[in-house]
């Protein structure tokens, strides 16, 4: 019975093979990205086009920090799984070792006194011989698990230094970008804004619809013609900010209110950029919406972005694709927040929201008919 039970345990242990992703490699790759972004920051400060270089640097930091969050989450989850597995199998392995040790110490006459005679003893010996490779394989697997768990713990501990450098770097890049935007004076202007007319329009309108419809009234002159038609890019444009679609057009919010735009969940202080070449028709506070940026990518089309904190650029400027128009609000993540979010697999890290409304001929259309995006 002992021998049969030992065989069943060994077979069970030997056949419990599962395919696992490598969270350690994921987190390590994220750390490499963050170090590359730090190097990129130093080069960006002296680049000929500082705005473009710093924009790419901030996006590199944001991507790296996202990857680090995911790597830490996977590492913590994998460590938890390994801890439970090792604890659960300690008893099985100990029992198997005890059985084998008992068999190996048994004198030859006892082994030969098998109920089925010499042939039974031979079969028992064969089973013991088969058990040894299975046990060795399992021991090797356990050793690999222990080594992996040690690596995961070390990685989570050393991630603090990487995160400290990265968070300092991205803040430095944002500050440098703000200065570079202030120094940038060579952007083309499609029209000149009349601030008096703008103030009158703001004070006389009560809805975003009415304001968008009256935008043509705030210009004094059109120095450039309309931008090229980009209808062929519908459905392919990147979102203005890195994030996930929290609510689609026409979906009711918690209060049951349905809106024509989409709501994007993003991280605090995320960079907001132009999805394509566009003219700034308006930016600034509006109604009860906070800061609003209205972009005109082509004639009779508007991209309306609501929820920004910091704004870049001037009304009337024509901005190239991927050019910064502002930053989201909120407080930048702290090291302990990122580590704790990774360790417990929870935490709402996308605490800021950007609302996107798209107008064609002053009529709202589904923004996702223009943008490629993933639903949360």
**Under 8 Å between Cβ of 344 and 354:** no
DSSP 266: E
* Structural domain ending residue among the three candidates 183, 212, 227: 183
Give every CB contact of residue 204 below 8 A, 6+ residues apart in sequence. none
Alpha carbon distance 139, 145 (integer Å):
10
Predicted TM-score (pTM) of the model is: 0.76
Paired strand residues for 371: 237
Task: Tell the residue number behind the tokens 């702290």, with chain if given.
Answer: 334
> Domains in the chain: how many in total?
2
Work out the burial of residue 140: count CB atoms within 10 Å of its CB; fewer than 13 is exposed, 13-18 middle, 19 or more buried: exposed
What kind and span of H or E run contains 322? none
* Any domain includes 374: no
* Structural domain ending residue among the three candidates 158, 183, 208: 183
26: pLDDT confidence band, cut at 50, 70 and 90? Answer: confident
186: pLDDT confidence band, cut at 50, 70 and 90? Answer: confident
Alpha carbon distance 98, 84 (integer Å):
22
Residue 54 has pLDDT above 80, yes or no: yes
Residue 18 has pLDDT above 60, yes or no: no
* Any domain includes 317: yes
Residues 131 and 210 in one domain: no
* Any domain includes 132: yes
Question: What does the pLDDT average to over 187-215?
Answer: 88
Residues 110 and 209 in one domain: no
Domain containing residue 198: CATH number: 2.70.70.10
Using one digit for the tens of pLDDT, what is the confidence trace for 247-263?
999 999 888 999 999 99
Domain span at residue 217 reads: 191-369
245: pLDDT confidence band, cut at 50, 70 and 90? Answer: very high
């Amino acid at each position: 019975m002992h021998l049969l039970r030992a065989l069943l345990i060994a077979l069970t242990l030997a056949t419990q093979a599962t395919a696992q992703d490598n969270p350690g490699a994921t987190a390590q790759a994220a750390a490499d990205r963050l170090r590359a972004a730090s190097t990129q920051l130093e080069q960006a400060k002296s680049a000929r086009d500082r705005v473009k270089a710093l924009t790419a640097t901030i996006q590199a930091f944001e991507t790296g920090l996202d990857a680090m969050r995911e790597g830490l989450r996977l590492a913590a989850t994998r460590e938890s799984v390994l801890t439970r597995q090792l604890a659960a199998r300690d008893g099985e392995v100990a029992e198997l070792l005890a059985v084998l040790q008992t068999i190996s110490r048994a004198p030859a006459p006892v082994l030969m006194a098998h109920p089925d005679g010499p042939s039974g003893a031979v079969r028992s010996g064969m089973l013991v011989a088969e058990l040894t490779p299975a046990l060795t394989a399992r021991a090797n697997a356990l050793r690999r698990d222990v080594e992996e768990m040690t690596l995961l713990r070390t990685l989570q501990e050393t991630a603090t230094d990487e995160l400290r450098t990265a968070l300092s770097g991205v803040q430095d890049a944002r500050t440098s970008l703000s200065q570079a935007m202030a120094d940038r004076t060579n952007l083309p202007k499609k029209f000149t804004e009349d601030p008096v007319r703008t103030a009158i329009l703001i004070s006389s309108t009560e809805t975003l619809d009415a304001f968008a419809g009256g935008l043509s009234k705030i210009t004094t002159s059109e120095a450039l013609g309309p931008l090229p038609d980009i209808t062929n890019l519908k459905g392919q444009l990147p979102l203005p900010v890195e994030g996930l679609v929290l609510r689609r057009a026409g979906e009711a919010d918690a209060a049951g209110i349905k809106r024509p735009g989409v709501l994007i969940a993003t991280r605090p202080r995320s960079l907001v950029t132009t999805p394509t070449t566009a003219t700034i028709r308006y930016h600034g506070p509006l109604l009860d919406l906070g800061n609003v940026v209205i972009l005109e990518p082509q004639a009779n089309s508007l991209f309306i972005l609501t929820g920004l904190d910091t704004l870049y650029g001037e009304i009337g400027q024509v901005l190239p694709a991927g050019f910064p128009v502002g930053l989201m609000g909120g407080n930048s993540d702290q090291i302990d927040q990122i580590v704790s979010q990774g360790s417990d697999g929870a935490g709402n890290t996308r605490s800021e929201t950007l609302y996107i409304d798209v107008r064609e001929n002053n009529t709202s259309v589904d923004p996702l008919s223009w943008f490629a995006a993933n639903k949360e």
